[in-house]
A = this chain, B = another copy of it.
């Protein structure tokens, strides 16, 4: 199979994609739209894109394209602990380093470590952590370091000097696997954290209590929500759709009845699928 992912090479999304699709052909894409387009036009069978907390790309775009391209569904969700490492070219020594390169969000997420240990070393923004690592590997004479993931260190032959320099241990990035098939993805080699279902719900009009009414459908059935996010419709200000994920194993009768009740409320519902949540390695 061909799997599109949000590139460049050695991005965090590639780190997710290589674990989710170890035996498939991976196609790096420049942005989230290109990942959706590749699935839509058949160039790729599936795609791996960030859903939450990513430093690569504005994740709200993922929700917007799920809304705009209704034939694209979710096959799986995958959670990866964020781990940033400080790395240099093996020909260099850490005390020689004059500048540290990375994506601005990775620099921000490693602020306390960098501020404590490399306060006087200049930090410089790169378009991605992977691009910073690649640049380091190609310019050993410049005496630079990069903050990137260990996949980048491996791919570009860099030496990791400090591991896990991120400020918070419990920080995660979420990814989803998307396709047009609407069949759940299964992988016996990864830990399963749980099951959930995703829905996009558009309210008939903007009125007080509208969302409350929608959530009643889930509340009295004791269906627990694990995520809710409102997004502005592109038709103008003040119109919204909601991305909701419901926790738990798929129950045909319960869910089908909830969907019928949502439609009876005059909402538009795009059922994105019922799928597993996997745990990835950082």
Q: Which of B30, B208, B212, B224 contacts A123 (CB 8 A)?
A: B30
B61 near A108: Cβ-Cβ < 8 Å: yes
A30 near B218: Cβ-Cβ < 8 Å: no
A229 near B230: Cβ-Cβ < 8 Å: yes
Q: Which of B104, B208, B213, B238 contacts A222 (CB 8 A)?
A: B208
Tell me which residues across on chain B come within 8 A of A215, comparing CB atoms.
211-212, 215
B219 near A30: Cβ-Cβ < 8 Å: no
A209–B225 Cα distance when bound, in Å, is 8
A30 near B125: Cβ-Cβ < 8 Å: yes
Total chain A interface residues with beta-carbon distance under 8 A: 63
Q: Given contacts A59-B58, A230-B228, A237-B193, are A212 and B208 in contact (CB under 8 A)?
A: no
A240–B210 Cα distance when bound, in Å, is 22
Tell me which residues across on chain B come within 8 A of A213, comparing CB atoms.
219
Q: Is A55 an interface position by the 8 A CB rule?
A: yes
> Which residues of A in the span 178-198 have a Cβ within 8 Å of any Cβ on B?
193
Tell me which residues across on chain B come within 8 A of A103, comparing CB atoms.
127
Taking each of A60, A168, A208, which has the highest tally of chain B beta carbons within 10 Å of its own beta carbon?
A208
Q: Is A267 an interface position by the 8 A CB rule?
A: no
Interface segment, A15-23, A31-39, A139-147, A148-156?
Answer: A31-39
Q: Is A257 an interface position by the 8 A CB rule?
A: no
B232 near A209: Cβ-Cβ < 8 Å: no
Tell me which residues across on chain B come within 8 A of A60, comparing CB atoms.
52-53, 59
Q: Is A207 an interface position by the 8 A CB rule?
A: yes
Q: Which chain B residue has the least Cβ–Cβ distance from A238?
A: B226
Tell me which residues across on chain B come within 8 A of A131, comparing CB atoms.
125
B222 near A34: Cβ-Cβ < 8 Å: no
CB distance from A192 to the nearest CB of B (A): 13
B33 near A108: Cβ-Cβ < 8 Å: yes
Tell me which residues across on chain B come within 8 A of A218, comparing CB atoms.
208-209, 212
Task: Give A contacts to B, CB under 8 Å.
Answer: 8, 30-34, 52-55, 57-61, 79, 103-105, 107-108, 111, 123, 125-128, 131, 168, 170-172, 193, 206-213, 215-216, 218-220, 222-230, 232, 234-238, 240, 242
A sample of 24 inter-chain contacts (CB < 8 A) reads A8-B125, A30-B107, A30-B108, A31-B108, A32-B108, A57-B105, A58-B105, A61-B105, A61-B108, A126-B127, A172-B232, A172-B237, A207-B224, A208-B223, A209-B220, A210-B224, A211-B225, A211-B228, A212-B212, A215-B215, A226-B238, A228-B228, A228-B229, A229-B229
